[in-house]
Structure 1
Amino acid sequence: MNTKTKISVLILMGFLAVTSCGKKETAPAESTETTETSTEGEPAPTAAPTEENVLVVEGNDQMQFNTSELKAVAGKPIKLTLKHVGKIPKEAMGHNLVILQEGTDQAAFALKANDAKATDYIPESEKASIIAHTKLIGGGEEDTIEFTIDKKGSYPFICSFPGHVAMMKGVLIVE
């Protein structure tokens, strides 16, 4: 009975250690993002459609966007700002935001982007798959782009810096 109790306690401690570590990593990122958003007076991380379609996305040094879903109104100009709220320069932790056509294979796109360092990881061969993209930015920088999507749908967005697509992706829902 003692052996079973010891094993149960060890399993419980291991489970608690693993789950508590995950919570410690997530909580600071969420509170930082909330502070940044409220300081700037921007909309909540999941931006609802507005007449102006003004969207703000933040990327950080932990390879994360602060949202995985954006919303906009079809046929209205979209003004999208990407802010890199981290401190690491773009050579080591660069971020961009690339909005892709519906149905684009994100993994295949990202694979081709890995070889496009000269064009800030925007592959020339994939221009037809891209609706719009920001420039590559580093810590403390931001970039704003303006574009219009006339057709309602769900458009994937990614960061095309090598390796980032695994964690930095989402969808722009155009209604």
Structure 2
Amino acid sequence: MNHRIFLALFALAGVSSAHAADTCSVDLEGNDAMRYNLANIDVPKSCGNFTINLKHTGRMAANLMGHNVVVAKTADMAGIDADGIRAGLAADYIKAGDARVIAHSKVVGGGESTTLSVPVARLTAAGAPLSFFCSFPGHSALMKGSLTLK
């Protein structure tokens, strides 16, 4: 192998590793049209914790068009949603002590942000498939995506 090619490949490998260290978080946006800007979030198994930074890019208040992010098994979404409606806004539309919820953020309104940190070991233990979604009443029909361990 040519010495220059070897050095170039070595340098690229170093860049990839440095980049990989930066992939333990993602920026997610939700808007007044009930849409997230991402349909899939890749979570590296090598991360100890994975952070989702949610920003509500709309203008409407949390009680009218609030957004959060909930991480759970895809099969549990409907049940979490149904129980969350009864829990109400004060509980971030999440039933207290709901073991189906791997992690969730608070509900934020237009212009607000929140951060959610998820231990990757909890994602691994939960199995697949996993999803992220908004539990504000009616929002999960449009505001959802897959969460993939890589």
The question of a shared fold, defined as TM-score above 0.5 by the shorter chain, is answered with yes
Aligned match of 1:167 in 126, 136, 142?
142
Instruction: Confirm or deny that 1:92 pairs with 2:69.
Output: no
Task: State the Cα distance separating 1:119 from its structure 2 match.
Answer: 0.7
For 1:35, the equivalent position in structure 2 comes to: none
Instruction: Measure, in 1, the Cα distance between the counterparts of 2:103 and 2:71.
Output: 5
What pairs up with 1:50-129 in 2 under 5 angstroms?
50-52=20-22, 53-76=24-47, 77-100=49-72, 102=73, 104-117=75-88, 118-124=90-96, 127-129=98-100
Cα distance change of structure 1 residues 86 and 138 upon mapping to structure 2, 3 Å threshold: same
Instruction: Measure, in 2, the Cα distance between the counterparts of 1:114 and 1:66.
Output: 24
Cα distance change of structure 1 residues 173 and 121 upon mapping to structure 2, 3 Å threshold: same
Q: Which amino acid aligns with 1:134?
A: S
CA RMSD of aligned residues (A): 1.8
Instruction: Measure, in 2, the Cα distance between the counterparts of 1:104 and 1:143.
Output: 25
Instruction: Measure, in 1, the Cα distance between the counterparts of 2:20 and 2:69.
Output: 20
Contact 1:154 1:174 in 2 (8 A): no
| Number of residue equivalences | 125
For 2:12, the equivalent position in structure 1 comes to: none
Unaligned runs of 5+ in 1: 1-48
Which structure is richer in relative contact order (CA contacts within 8 A, separation 6 or more)?
2
For 1:145, the equivalent position in structure 2 comes to: 116
Cα distance change of structure 1 residues 61 and 132 upon mapping to structure 2, 3 Å threshold: same
Larger Rg: 1
Moved over 3 A (4+): none
Instruction: Confirm or deny that 1:155 pairs with 2:130.
Output: yes
For 1:133, the equivalent position in structure 2 comes to: 104
